[in-house]
Amino acid sequence: MAEAEVLYNIKSTRARGNTDVATPSTDEPTYCNINYSETQRPGSKQPAASNRRSGVTSERVALLVLSVLLAAAVIALGVTLYENTQTKKSLHNFQEECEAKLLSEILSGTEPSIVEQPTTPPLVRNETCPSCEDGWEPHGGKLYFFSSVTSTWNESRTRCKSMRGDLVVINSEEEQRFLQSRLKVKICKPEEEFWIGLTDSEKEGEWLWVDDRRLDQSLTFWREGEPNNLKGTNSEGENCVMMWAVDGAMELKTWFDQSCKSSLKSICEKPEKECV
């Protein structure tokens, strides 16, 4: 944009005196035009100062925006760390609670109740026999009890009998699948194992259920390589059967032969009509 010019008129008066040239009797003013550009005026530096103030303001706004973004990022990070810490604390507390409860009930000599993980949805139960003892779960005309007390195979069977039942006899793939699904939510630690009512204690290789029925070889759920009758920890070999919970394509193949003297949890069952 072109600089603005300002016209100034300066008035001067010629002094009277004797000169060779005739002059009028009155003083005659004389005018002189002097042009000043706007940039020559005393206030001509104001735009530059204004530009500097504008630049400083923009820098302050940018710094304020960056400060707000940084504060938001720090807050978000803090919230995430807090949530992770609380989650780990909750899992640790649950494990300690589970172990403490089991220990307390074992020391008191009572059959402990089942502690389920808090993230597990409640079991949908057919309450056809609401007066049954706590801990027994109805399914397919039977009642099942998943004991969290560890003991030998014979001791586990004695405990089941004291509750008018026996170690579980598995008669179908559907029953095996049901037991697997329940074990997945019963365990407090990985690879916990449960006794079932199958043994070849009377004659090696002749597997019998606790109701004296021979094992149907077309309906077995041995893990690959089982039974193997290892004698590393017991010279009598492995004459009792336990199962555990696994995932994947082999999730139903969960039977292992094991020394009957091992201390494991157990699964009891009894007819639903045994409710009292």
The whole-angstrom separation of Cα 156 and Cα 267 is: 9
What does pTM read for this prediction? 0.53
Which residues in the chain come in under a pLDDT of 70?
1-56, 84, 86-133, 248-249, 274-276
The whole-number pLDDT of residue 185 equals 87
Q: From the centroid of its chain, how far is CA 98?
A: 19
The whole-number pLDDT of residue 57 equals 81
- According to DSSP, residue 113 is labeled P
The whole-angstrom separation of Cα 252 and Cα 233 is: 27
The whole-number pLDDT of residue 219 equals 94
Give the distance between the most distant pair of CA atoms in the chain.
Answer: 162
The whole-number pLDDT of residue 26 equals 47
User: Looking at this protein, which amino acid is placed at residue 69?
Assistant: L
Could you give all domains of the chain from N- to C-terminal order, each with its CATH number?
5-40 (no CATH), 137-274 (3.10.100.10)
The whole-number pLDDT of residue 274 equals 62
- The position carrying tokens 């009155």 is 26
Token representation of residue 133: 């003892």
User: Looking at this protein, which amino acid is placed at residue 233?
Assistant: T
